[in-house]
Structure 1
Amino acid sequence: MSVARNIFAEVPENSRATEEAAQFVETVTYADLPEEALRIGTRCLLDGLGLYVAGADHEMVEILKAEALDNAGRPDALLLDLAARVPAPMAARVLGTSGHAHDWDDSQVSTDPAHIYGLLTHPTIPPLTASLIMAQKIGNVDGRAFMLAFLTGFEVECKISEWMLPQHYMSGMHSSGTVGTFGAYAAAAKMLGLKGDQLRWGFGIAASLAAGIRCNFGTMTKPLHVGRACENGITAALLAQRGYTADPNALDGPWGFFAVQGGGVSEGKLGQGFGRTWTIVEPGVSIKPYPCGVLTHPTIDLMLRLVTDANIAPDDIEGVTVHAGTNILKPIRYPIAANHLQAKFSLPAALAMIALARKAGKREFSDEFVQSDAMQAMQRRIRTELDPEIEAQGFNVMRSRITVKLKGDGEVAGWADERYRGGPENPLSDADLEAKVRSCCEGLLDQAGQDRLIETAWKVQELPDSGVLAQLLRSAP
């Protein structure tokens, strides 16, 4: 009984989050979208399209495509880069996994010191995937309706993630798999025009389907969390449309999602509501320059600055020590990366890439590069160390420092910039974003295909049929 009372105490009895979420999805209009939300959302769309292409030939995605083809049914939507069409949930599983395959998709930002910066959700891929798949299934969904559905799902996902206590992530749940389900559901429900009880039932279905645990970080299953969030969100919307019932208040109450998975909610935040301030604008979103966990990014930039400014060659390095807090060292958990998936959660791997190549991109995050003798040897010169002073400063930003000991005599050291590259305070320029998209597409789309993808994404609001976006992911138009 004491456990039940503690859970209930974390979710106010008067919580109406499910009802308010449903009302928001049902009533929000294109005219309600702030211009800045549309601008940033278009950037997230372009980034996401590039990421779908980047993951299309990954082994994990090829396995999922083969599984989908073996079980194909109703031809709702394209199967990523193939000409084949499969049922919407199945197409979403593959597309969503591809978008997260390289861990290069954007990160939600929170300025609340109660949260651990960087440990919320990857907000774009679930609602973008649902919007892209449902636009094909429904047909003739114009660009404005597409962006409305995408940004509706984005807002619902981020607010739920922000309102939950950090216990959700720290207890081992992967927010992009759990909360991402609600983002995909809200986007799909908006496109389907769900209303009233159907909308609230869909939230209940999504709440029971939401899943993903952090033990699978560094494996193929981590990106599958996002693919399943996309699949399950669409499934929840389609079932609700048919009249499938669920608890109409599934976010709230002692046995609702907030209590059971979230460890409760911040009562003071529930009054923020949905769409009064748009999370994509304030506090914003980080578009990643590197295909790895965002918690590594400030440290990667610092390492790049140190070796570049001092012109340090790989053979000059005797050892590197990374000083950080548990907010970084626990999630970024591999001391030596044996493959490219582990490297995405390894500071020694990421910094070894910089030491050897002064780059940490798609080529460096490959098994061929990570498993090379040079990379394996360099990783063993790099160690992490818990810094009590950094730990004591809290987790509202990503703090770290590096000491590089040089062979012979001497060292260089520095602190990571808290205004990290890609974050809302230091965003990638549009030109840098386009360059990232081209690097995602390298070897998969030719120059003309890359041009079409970029040009079409920028003018998404003018499209008479947003379903054409899915065709841009293929080598042939």
Structure 2
Amino acid sequence: MATQQLATWAVGLQYTDFSPPVIDAAVKSIYNWAGCAIGGYQQTAPGTALNVTGPHFGGPPTSSILALANGSTQTDAQIAAFVNGIAGHVDDYDDTHLQTIIHPSGHVASALLAVSEWKGGINGSEFITAFVAGVEAELKLGLSVWPQHYDIGWHDTSTTGSVGTAVAVSKLLGLDVPTMQQAIGIAATQVIGMQVFFGSDTKSFHVGRASASGMLAALLAQQGFTSSLVGLEGEFGWVHVVSTRENVTAEFDTLGKTYEILSNTFKPYPCGIVMHPSIEGAINVQAAALAQNLSISDITSVSATVNPETLVLTGQIDPTTGLEGKFSVYHGIAVGLLYGTVTPQQFTDAVVTNSTVVALRKLVNVTTDPNVSEVSATVTAIFKNGQNVTQNIANVIGSLANPLTVDQLKTKFLGQASLVLGNDIAEKAYEAFSNIGNMTDVSTLTQMFSGQNGTASTSASTSSSPRMRVPNTAVFTVIMAILLGTVALVG
């Protein structure tokens, strides 16, 4: 039985089971997420989510919003998981498991950090063990229904994410096998996320909701809330409802033998990963053109040859917002040519609607070729004098064959975090998260770089104070009673 199989594996998992590469991959995944969650708070979606949920649903402040990590910006664990989950995904800068296109870290890490801060006493090895358990659970689940599940329109990052988060939080709470099975079932029934919402705030909502839903599932199960012990594989369970194909038992047979986290990759560009080869090609074309004293303003046409999946996922020809631009290979090529770099600043509303960007975007023609791999592309620009500049990308940076280095990952983290925290505190945040495995109490992590540790915060972000939030609905009163009862049991 697949649900029991997953729970049994996760309950028995130990930190000593991990090879050094698995631990290294987990730590990189965690701090890459943290940088994205801090920098992503500059988008409107995370702040809106915090300001809407806080006054109406917030309970006792126990957990940090990473971008606002100081003594006055904590909220309850569920909202913290929700908001940090949104912030970590909203820039589309987070990690990617290339075989399933699942972004595995955001919902799991957001929930684990929130629970660790609320609960206290969780050390780094316990955190990493729970994190790997959750990531492996969602990726194996995703593989078991790939590609049919994705092809019919589900956003598999979030549809699998609530289950992975439930496994991770259950592991952190020390739940036994039958109780974790119940948690998996409660998470599975909260399936969320469809691709029609790509290019909008709701795409990142999927990740935030999966994080909060998975956490709630584990907490409810801990208190005896029932679901189904075969929530995944039952006749009308998750794998049969969301896909025409399932191979869940075979995938779960590889748990602990093949670690999917070793195939996790990190994005160099904050947008749909399938357009990364075209962006790198455009950046290289710009460099080669300038080296030949050619002017980008003299381009008369641009062509790109890409894998067919590129246009399926990022084929928006005329985006009008920054979020839509993240799913437009045409925009990615245009800004790569114009700026020679592609960061979150190239995916603002202002840049997407800039007349120079729009004019160049209209010169871009994209054709597909099934013989071109998903990590490859060819980009050509033709200039007024008839000269053309072509660049071929065989293995785009950030792919498994050409991964970001530790230095590049640090630069990416600091580039995101410093925009919100300032350079000095961003450095402290990097040191804290990159050394999470050595921590004796993860609940103190944000104190290592926030005002709680005597360091003045330089954050320019603003938000209403979440410490003043009081629940005002009957539904949330019930939920908070469950949470408070859990505190009494596990605190």
> Structure 2-normalised TM-score?
0.87
- The separation in 2 between residues aligned to 1:374 and 1:52, in whole angstroms, is 31
Which SS does the other structure have where 2:304 is aligned? strand
Q: Which has the higher helix share?
A: 2
Matches within 5 A, 1:13-412: 16-71=1-56, 72-82=58-68, 83-110=72-99, 119-266=100-247, 269-270=250-251, 272-281=253-262, 284-311=263-290, 312-385=294-367, 387=368, 390-391=369-370, 393=371, 397-412=374-389
Superposed CA offset, 1:245-270 (max 9, x none):
11111111331111111322237843
Superposed CA offset, 1:208-251 (max 9, x none):
10210000100010111111110111011111111111111111
Query: Conserved in 1, the CA contact under 8 Å of 2:281 and 2:377?
Result: no
- The separation in 1 between residues aligned to 2:110 and 2:101, in whole angstroms, is 19
- The separation in 2 between residues aligned to 1:287 and 1:100, in whole angstroms, is 13
Q: Which runs of 4+ in 1 moved over 6 A?
A: none
- The separation in 2 between residues aligned to 1:50 and 1:271, in whole angstroms, is 31
- Classify 1:31/1:233 alpha carbon distance in 2 versus 1 (closer, same or farther; 3 Å): same
- The separation in 1 between residues aligned to 2:330 and 2:6, in whole angstroms, is 42
One-letter amino acid matched to 1:301? E
- Of residues 435-444 and 267-276 in structure 1, the stretch that sits farther from structure 2 once superposed is 267-276
Root mean square deviation, CA, Å: 1.8
Aligned counterpart, 1:3: none
Superposed CA offset, 1:395-428 (max 9, x none):
6x444322322223132334321x2211222111
Aligned counterpart, 2:470: none
Which SS does the other structure have where 1:384 is aligned? strand
Q: Quote the offset at 1:471 in angstroms.
A: 4.2
- Of residues 160-169 and 100-109 in structure 1, the stretch that sits farther from structure 2 once superposed is 160-169
- The separation in 2 between residues aligned to 1:93 and 1:33, in whole angstroms, is 29
Which SS does the other structure have where 1:227 is aligned? helix
Which SS does the other structure have where 1:304 is aligned? helix
- In structure 2, runs of 5+ residues without a counterpart are 458-491
- Of residues 71-80 and 175-184 in structure 1, the stretch that sits farther from structure 2 once superposed is 71-80
Q: Quote the offset at 1:307 in angstroms.
A: 2.1
- The separation in 1 between residues aligned to 2:333 and 2:118, in whole angstroms, is 44
1:432 paired to 2:385: no
Superposed CA offset, 1:160-181 (max 9, x none):
1112130111111001111111
- Classify 1:313/1:441 alpha carbon distance in 2 versus 1 (closer, same or farther; 3 Å): farther
1:465 paired to 2:444: no
- Classify 1:447/1:398 alpha carbon distance in 2 versus 1 (closer, same or farther; 3 Å): closer
> Structure 1-normalised TM-score?
0.89
Query: Conserved in 1, the CA contact under 8 Å of 2:26 and 2:132?
Result: yes
Superposed CA offset, 1:156-212 (max 9, x none):
111111121301111110011111112211111111111122110111111110210
- Classify 1:105/1:472 alpha carbon distance in 2 versus 1 (closer, same or farther; 3 Å): farther
- The separation in 2 between residues aligned to 1:42 and 1:273, in whole angstroms, is 22
Q: Quote the offset at 1:323 in angstroms.
A: 2.3
Which SS does the other structure have where 1:74 is aligned? coil
Q: Percent identity?
A: 26
One-letter amino acid matched to 1:449? I
